[in-house]
Chains A and B, each alone.
Chain A
Amino acid sequence: MKRWPVIVLAGALLVSVLWGLWERQNRINLANALEAQYQNEFYNFLAQVEQVDLTMGKALVSNFPEARGAYFAEVWSRAIEAQGRLSELPFPEVNLAASRKFLAQVGDYCLSLARKEARGEVISADDRKNLERLRRELGEYNQSLHRLEESMAFSGRAWTDSIRRAGPLGRAEAAADQKDEFIKMDNRFQELPALEYDGPFSDHLERLKPRGLTGKAITRAEAERLARSILPPDKQHFRLQAGRELTGKIPCYTLVFQNPRQPETIQIQVTKTGGHLAFMINSRAVGGESLNASAAVDRAVKFAAQRGLGRLEPVSSLKQGGYQVVNLVRTSGGSILYPDMVKVKVALDNGEIVGWDAFNYLMAAGPRKIPRPAISVAEARTKLHPELKIRRVRKALIPLDSGKEVLCYELRAERGPETYLIYINARTGAEERIFKVMKLPQGEVVM
C-alpha cells in the first residue's frame, strides 16, 4: 500500500537523471560544434591579418603599377575578410569597433589605391607614408595576435567559455587573456589619426556638413505649426505627443501625432534651422487601392512643390504593398541631380502622403556649380561596349562613394534582355558606375 509512492518517486528521479544526462550530452555536442566554428574563425582571422601585412609589403616594394594594383586589390579582399572574421568572434561586453574599423579602412584605402593605379595615377609620397604607418600598426596587431594564439593554445581556453552563464559560485574567469589582448589593441586603434582618401570608409565622410540647411533657427512652437500644416484636414484633431529632439548632422524637432481612436501615429521631423520638413512616417495600414502609379507620382511631385522644393523630377517609383514609393530629384540645366533626392511614400487607397525622407536632399542640396561637359554625347556613346544598344542618354550628377559628385552622361542601354544604366564621366570620359535595371511588375529597381 505504501510502496507505490516510493516506486513512482524513484521512477521520476531516474527519468530526471536520464533526461539530465541526455541534455548534458546535447549541450556538449553543441558547445563542441560552436567552439570548432569559433576556432576556425579565429585561425582564419590570424591568417588573413598576416596576409594583409605580407601583401602590403609586396605592394610597397613592387615597381610596376599593374602588379601594385593587383596587390592593393588583394589587400582589400583580405582585410575585409579579416574584418568579417573578427566580427564573428564572441566578445561579451567588449566592443572592438576600432579594430574592425581599422581593418575595414586598411582594405578600403588600398582599394582606392588600386583604383588609382588602374587610372594610371601616381601613388603619392603621402600615400606611401600612410601605407607605412598602417603597416606598422598591422605589424603590432599581428604580433599581439600571435602571442594570444600561443597562450590560448597552451591554456586550453575556449571561446565558448565566454558565453556560459554564471553559476551559483559566480562567473568563471573565462577567456580573460584573449579579451585583454584584443582590448589593448583596440585602445591603440582608437588613438590612430584620421585617414582621408577617396573611399566610403574615409574619415572625412563622418564630418560632412549639411549643405541644404538654409534659413533661420525656428522655435518648437513654429515647428509644431509647420507639422500641423502638413497633416491633412481630417487629421487635425490628432493628439500631439512629446517627441525627443534629434541631434546629429541635421538637428530636428520631433513631433508625434496620435490618432485618438485608431492605432495610427505620424512622426514628423522638422529641422531646427529653417524649418524644413526632414522626415515623416505614418504607420497607417492601407485599405483597397484606388490610385494608379502615375497619379501617386503626381501627388508626390505636388507635395514636394508645396514644401517649397520647386518642381522636382520623378526618377523612379516602385509599388510596395499598398504604397507607392517615389524618388524625386532636382534638375539643373537639363542635368538630373541625383544627390538632391527626396523620397515620398504615397498611400494608394486615398493618395495621402504617408512618408517623406529628405535627409540626402538636406545634406547635398546646396548652391553648386555644375561643370560643363568636356565631351559630347556622341563621344560618350562611343565609350560603351559595342554589344550594347543605347536607348536613352541624359546628363546626370551622381554621388560617388567618396562623397564627391561627378557630372556624367547616363546611358540607358540594353544587352539582350538585360537593361543597364552606365555612367560616363562627362569631363574625362571614364566609366564611373554601372547599375543593372530590374524590371518588376511593381516598377523598376536598380542594383
Chain B
Amino acid sequence: MRKRKLVIFLCLAILLVGLFAPRLYRDQVVDGFKTKPAVLSSSYLGRAWATENGLEQELGTESLPDLAQAGYRGVTGSDELRLLARLVAAEAGGEPYAGKVAVAAVVLNRVEHPSFPKTVSSVIFQPGAFESVSNGLVWRVNPRGEPTNAAVDALNGWDPTFGALYFWNPYKPVSGWMWTRTILTQIGRHIFAR
C-alpha cells in the first residue's frame, strides 16, 4: 500500500513540475544579470495591478512632472510616469541610479527623434525595442522607489548621456547594427549610444 501511494505521489509530482517548469524557467532567464529576479509569481497580472495601485497611493498627484521647463519634452501626466518607471525597473533594475535615469532618458529622447514613435507608450511598446517588453518582465517588476525616482528625474530633463537613443548590455549578444552607432558612454552594465 505504501509503495502505491509513493508511485502516485511521484507521478503527480512529475506532472506538476512539467506544468510549472517553463514558467519558472522563463522568469529566471529573463536577464542574466539581475541578481534578484523580479517576482517569482505566476499570476503576474494580479501582481502588476497591485503594485500599480500601491504606486498610485504613494505618488498621488505629486508625481506630475514639470513639462515645458524640462526642455520642452512634450510629455504629460502620471500615467506615462508609471509606464516609464516600470520599464526602468525591468530594463535597469540592478543598475546604478544614473543608469536608471539614463534608460528613462533614452525613451524620452526617442520621443523627440524622427526615427522613433512620437509618444512614450509607443516607444516603449515598439515591437522588439525593449527585451523586457518582449519577454513580459515589464509586467512583473515593482517600479517603486529608485525606478520611479529615476523616471521622474528623466521627465524633468535629467539625462546623464546628453542624448542617447540606444542602450545595450555589451556582455550579451546584440545585433551588429547596434555597434555601428556612436557610443557616448557606459554606465554600469549598459552602453549608451546615439
Contacts and interface: CB of A to CB of B under 8 A. Distances in A.
Interface of A: 1, 4-5, 8-9, 12, 15-16, 19, 80, 83-84, 87-95, 97-98, 100-101, 104-105, 108, 200-201, 243-250, 252, 254, 256, 265, 267, 269, 278-279, 281-283, 285, 315-316, 318-321, 325, 327, 341, 343, 345, 355, 357, 359-360, 399, 401, 435, 438, 440-443, 445-447
Contact of A88 (B4, B116, B127, B186): B127
A325 B154 CA distance: 12
Nearest to B101: A281
Interface string B1-44: 00010011001101100110000000000000000000000000
Given A98-B115, A321-B62, A91 B159 contact: no
Contacts of B53: none
Contact of A355 (B14, B66, B116, B158): B158
B48 interface: no
Nearest to A258: B96
B51 interface: no
A245 B185 contact: yes
B36 to A, nearest CB: 14
Contacts of A249: 162-163
A93 B134 CA distance: 13
A80 B156 contact: no
A245 B191 CA distance: 12
Interface in B78-134: 96-98, 101, 112-118, 122, 126-128
Closest 9 pairs between A and B when the two form their complex, measured CB to CB: A283-B97, A104-B114, A446-B68, A90-B127, A267-B98, A97-B115, A201-B114, A87-B117, A101-B114
Interface in B143-194: 145-146, 149, 152-153, 156-163, 175, 177, 182-187, 194
A95 B177 contact: yes
Contact of A320 (B14, B114, B117, B152): B152
A100 B76 CA distance: 23
A80 B112 CA distance: 13
B126 A87 contact: yes
Given A4-B7, A88-B122, A321-B152, 7 more contacts: A12-B14, A84-B122, A87-B117, A87-B122, A101-B114, A248-B162, A321-B149
B46 interface: no
B72 interface: yes
B121 to A, nearest CB: 11
Contacts of A320: 62-63, 65, 152, 156
Contacts of A440: 61, 64
Contacts, number: 182
B98 A265 contact: yes
Contact of B112 (A200, A345, A445): A200
Contacts of B57: none
A441 B61 contact: yes
B136 interface: no
Interface of B: 4, 7-8, 11-12, 14-15, 18-19, 59, 61-72, 76, 96-98, 101, 112-118, 122, 126-128, 145-146, 149, 152-153, 156-163, 175, 177, 182-187, 194
Nearest to A105: B114
Contacts of A244: 185-187
B71 A360 contact: yes
Contact of B184 (A248, A278, A441): A248
B125 to A, nearest CB: 8
A243 B153 CA distance: 20
A248 B194 contact: yes
B8 A8 contact: yes
B66 A316 contact: yes
Contacts of B59: 321
B14 to A, nearest CB: 7
B7 A445 contact: no
A445 B161 contact: no
Nearest to A343: B157
Contacts of B67: 445-447
Contacts of A446: 66-69
B62 A319 contact: yes
Contact of A84 (B101, B117, B145): B117
Contacts of B12: 12
Contact of B128 (A91, A267, A399): A91
A12 B11 contact: yes
Given A12-B11, A325-B156, A447-B67, A89 B162 contact: no
B164 to A, nearest CB: 8
A281 B126 contact: no
Contacts of A283: 96-98, 146, 149
Nearest to A283: B97
Contacts of A15: 15
Contacts of B97: 265, 267, 281-283
Contacts of A285: 145, 149
A83 B128 contact: no
B68 A8 contact: no
24 contacts: A4-B4, A16-B15, A16-B18, A87-B117, A87-B126, A88-B126, A88-B127, A93-B175, A245-B185, A249-B163, A256-B96, A265-B98, A267-B187, A269-B160, A279-B160, A281-B153, A281-B158, A285-B145, A325-B156, A341-B69, A355-B153, A357-B156, A445-B66, A445-B67
Contacts of B122: 84, 87-88
